[in-house]
Amino acid sequence: MIKAMPCKPDVTSWKAFLGACRIHGNVEMGEHVAKRVLELEPASTAGYVLLSSIYAAADSRNLCENVEQQRKQRGVKKLLGHT
């Protein structure tokens, strides 16, 4: 879907796609999309939070904790009530 877009997708498009991966439980695609989101906007919490949520829903607590650890190591702080 992203490749078929008539224009180059921006970070907002990638975040929307990552949210869809979370809704549909697509872990493999979510990992790929989260990587792209974090490349484009490394200081944003959205990539970390959504990927962590995907892992949590898939009962992959280890991976979920790893994502949160990476976020903290990179100094990205999550504000309450924001993704």
User: For residue range 23-44, what is the model confidence (pLDDT) as tens digits?
Assistant: 999 999 999 999 999 999 998 8
- Structural domain contains residue 31: yes
Residue 54 has pLDDT above 70, yes or no: yes
* Domain enclosing residue 44, as ranges: 11-73
Whole-structure pTM value: 0.85
- The b/e string for 18-48 (b: 16+ C-beta within 10 A; e otherwise) is bbebbeeebbeebbebbebbbebbeebbbbb
The helix/strand/coil state of 17 is helix
- Structural domain contains residue 57: yes
- The domain tally of the chain equals 1
Between CA 12 and CA 9 the distance in angstroms is 8
- Structural domain contains residue 79: no
Check which CATH number belongs to the domain holding 30 and give it.
1.25.40
- Structural domain contains residue 80: no
Conformational region of residue 41, where left means phi above 0, alpha means psi within -120 to 50, and beta covers everything else: beta
